[in-house]
Amino acid sequence: MPLDVAWTQDGAFHEGGRPACLPPTGRGTVTVRVTWAEVEVGGRTSKQVLGVYC
């Protein structure tokens, strides 16, 4: 997950960083759901994260 993207949690705005529920290593015992959408720009397709739920 990129750390330079602004996000909101419970109505509070954050300039970037990592939500406290996400482990810094990407591994842990917390169940995390991610919603995403495929986006095409200039003929290249990538997945953009829309939401993180922990």
Go through 23-54 and write b for each residue having 16 or more CB atoms within 10 A of its CB, e for each that does not. eeeeeeeeeeeeeeeeeeeeeeeeeeeeebee
Q: pLDDT 10s digit of each residue in the chain, 54 long?
A: 678 888 888 888 988 888 877 777 767 777 888 888 999 999 999 998 888 887
pLDDT of residue 45: 96
pTM over 0.95: no
pLDDT of residue 8: 85
Decide: 7 and 22 in contact? Cβ < 8 Å. Answer: no
Cα–Cα distance, 5 to 17 (Å, whole number): 7
With H, G, I as helix, E, B as strand and everything else as coil, classify residue 45.
Answer: strand
pLDDT of residue 26: 66
Decide: 29 and 39 in contact? Cβ < 8 Å. Answer: no
